[in-house]
Structure 1
Amino acid sequence: MTLMERTLVRAENLLGTIATLLILSIMVIVTADVVLRYLFHSPIEWAFDVISLYLMAGVFFLSLSGTHADHGHVGVDLLLQRLAPTGRRLAETLTCLVSIPFFAAMAKVGADRAIDSFLNHDALSGLIAWPTWIASALVPVGAGLLALRLVLRLVSQIASLATGRDYAAVIPLGGHAGTE
């Protein structure tokens, strides 16, 4: 495993751990809100805003790259089932070539929006003026890391196709790493 791959895996693991903690936070907040709402008629006023603005966005964007690395995203493998390993490598190469510009642009636009939101002190109107730049900053982190993962996968698949050596795993059938 190269230094870049190890660094990327460490970043994905860190963000995955944070996403796990965010899910745990959602569960605790929702449980507390339900108990307080129905037993004491005193809901947590900020629960919906925090969960919908920050926590759900964090879970989604912080787990993008790690989920892709584990082949955990939903995929249609109807065509892939009929392809030999070389065909699956070519399919993943094409997927990377199409996806990299999309996620790189998403990261750029997300970063611009987060910076603009921060500089303009954008906030939600309501009981608490939650700053929106925090949620916006999650987009470039997740999309940018996924773009890097896709670049690494593209280079690895091209090297595997060119040399015949396995620099990257062939896309597993069934969507789970380790299955063929």
Structure 2
Amino acid sequence: MTTFDRVSDRLGQILAVLAAFCLTAMMLHICMDVVGRFAFSRPLPSTIEIVAEWWMPALIFLPMVAVARHHENITVDLFYDRSGPKMRAFMNLMSNACFTVFLGFIAWGAGEQALRAYGEGEYIVGMIPVVTWPARFFLPVAATLTGLLTFMRALRALRHLTAGPGHDAGGEI
């Protein structure tokens, strides 16, 4: 396992644990809101806004690196499983290269939006004002880190593809 693999694995674990913490916090937050609403006729202020702007983006975007790291993305192996080692390496190269480019565009666009939100001190007004600009950084950070991971996988696939005879070109990438 390379240093990059160890670092990306550790980073993925940290972000996944942070997402798990956010899930727990969201469940407690919603439970307290429901209890407050029905038992005391006093709901927690701005629960919907906090869930929508903080907890849900964290749950969606923070585990992206861990999902990609453990090959848990949605895949269709219709042709892949029936292909030879060189064709598998080529498919790995193309899919990882395309995904890297896609994630780069996502990181760029979301990063611009996050910086704009930061510059404006973005918040929404519910029952109480809820600062939202920090949560805007979840997507660009996750897309950038996942993009680095897929870029490294594309490089490995290229190395396997160009390897001489006798090398396993379709191995774990």
TM-score by structure 1 length? 0.84
| CA offset digits 1:19-75 (Å, max 9, x no partner) | 111111112112222222223322222222111111110111111121011111222
| Separation of aligned partners in 2, 1:92 and 1:76 | 13
**What residue is the counterpart of 1:117 in the other structure?**
117
**What residue is the counterpart of 2:131 in the other structure?**
131
| Separation of aligned partners in 2, 1:88 and 1:9 | 24
| Separation of aligned partners in 2, 1:135 and 1:116 | 13
**What residue is the counterpart of 1:169 in the other structure?**
172
Structure 1 gap ranges (5+): 171-180
Same amino acid, percent of matched pairs: 22
Most deviating of 14-23 and 74-83: 74-83
What does 1:39-118 align with in structure 2 at a 5 Å threshold? 39-118=39-118
**What residue is the counterpart of 1:33 in the other structure?**
33
Q: What letter is aligned with 2:172?
A: A
Kept in 2: contact 1:96–1:150 (CA 8 A):
yes
Structure 2 gap ranges (5+): none
| Separation of aligned partners in 2, 1:168 and 1:52 | 41
- How far residue 9 of structure 1 moved from its aligned partner, in angstroms, is 1.4
TM-score by structure 2 length? 0.87
* Two-structure CA RMSD over aligned residues (Å): 2.0
| Separation of aligned partners in 1, 2:40 and 2:86 | 62
Q: What letter is aligned with 2:145?
A: L
- How far residue 167 of structure 1 moved from its aligned partner, in angstroms, is 9.2
**Are residues 168 and 136 of structure 1, via their aligned partners in 2, closer, same or farther at CA, if it must alter by over 3 Å?**
farther
